Amino acid sequence: MDFLHILGYFGALIIGLVMGLIGGGGSILSVPIFVYLFAFNPIIATSYSLFMVGVSSSFGAFKNYRKNNINFKMAFLFAIPAFIVIYLTRRYFLPEVPDQLFSIGTFNVTKGSAIMLLFAVVMLYSATVMLKRSTEIVVNNNRASYNIPKIVFQAAVIGFFTGLIGAGGGFVIVPALILLGNLTMKQAVGTSLFIISINSLIGFTGDFGHLNIDWLFLLSFTAIAVVGILIGTSLANKVEGAKLKKGFGWFVLVMAIFILVKELVF
C-alpha cells in the first residue's frame, strides 16, 4: 500500500468525523479522494461516494434517532422526491451522457472532467455557505406549516446534482430543513443524515448493471468512515460547530480551487 492510499484511508476517517459533527460534508471529500488518491475514474468515484456516504450516514442517523433528533415527516417529504430524481439520474441519464462532450481548441471536455468541474463548483458554493459570518439561522417558531412546494422543488434539484456528482448535499439540506421545515439545528443535522442515507443508497442502486464494483475496497473504506461518523456524533455536543464549520469551509475552498486548476490546466 503506497502513501497516497494510506492518506486516502485516513481521509475516510475524516469524512466520517465531519459528517457526524456537522450533518454533511463527507461527500465533498470522498469524490476527490477516490479520484486523486485511489485513481478511480469520476463515474466510479461518484458511485462509491454514494454507497459510502449512504452507509455511514445511516449509522449517524441511528444515533440521532436514539436522541430523538429526527423529524420523520420532514425527512420523507424531502427524501421521496430527491431519491426518485437521484435514481433516474444514475440509472438513465448519466449512462446516456457521451464520454466525449465537446472540444475547445486542444482542450477536450469529457464526461469525467465535466463531473469534476461541476463538483468543484458545488464545493465553491458549499465553502461560501460555510464561510458566511452568520452562524445562526433564525427560525420562526410561529410558522404553522411547512413550505411544501419549495421543499419538494429543492429536494428534486438536490437529487439531480447528487445523482450527477455523488454528493449527498448535506450543506444544502441542513439550511433548507431549518428555513423551510422550521427545525432546530440538532433536528436538522439528524434529519439530514437520515435523508442522505436514503438518497445515497437508492442512488447507488441505479448503478447496478452499469459499473463493476470493487466490494472489498468499498466495504473497507466505508467501515473506516463509519468509525469516524460514530466518533463525530459522540463529539457533536462537545465541539463548537461554528469554528469547525468555518475551518472546514476554508479547506473545501482550497480543494475546489485545486480541482479547477487540475482539470483546466493540467
pLDDT in tens, 27-72: 778 888 999 999 999 889 888 988 988 898 888 889 889 989 899 9
Q: How many whole angstroms separate alpha carbon 10 and alpha carbon 224?
A: 8
C-alpha distances in angstroms, 169 versus 28, 49, 181, 187? 9, 12, 16, 16
- CA separation for the pair 246, 248 (Å, rounded): 5
Which of 210 and 61 is assigned the larger pLDDT? 61
Above 50 in pLDDT, residue 142? Answer: no
pLDDT value of position 136: 47
Are 16 and 186 in contact by the 8 Å Cβ rule? The answer is: no
Least confident interval from 131-135, 231-235, 236-240? 131-135
Which of the listed ranges 174-178, 208-212, 259-263 does the model predict with the highest average pLDDT?
259-263
Identify the pLDDT of residue 254. 87
Residues 6+ apart with CB under 8 A from 207: 47, 50, 90, 91, 213
Number of domains in the chain: 1
Task: Determine the average pLDDT of the residues in 106-128.
Answer: 84
- Please tell me the pTM assigned to this model: 0.80
| pLDDT at residue 261 tops 80 | yes
**Is the pLDDT reported for residue 248 higher than 80?**
no
Q: Average pLDDT for residues 146-172, to the nearest whole number? A: 80
Range of weakest confidence among 66-80, 128-142, 213-227: 128-142
Closest CA to 192 of 21, 45, 46: 21
Terminal CA-CA length for the chain = 26
Q: How far, in Å, are 55, 135, 173, 223 from residue 211 at the CA level?
A: 19, 41, 28, 21
Q: Is the pLDDT of residue 217 over 90?
A: yes
pLDDT value for 171: 67
Give the domain range for residue 84.
3-264
Instruction: Give the pLDDT score at 182.
Output: 79
Residue type at position 181: G
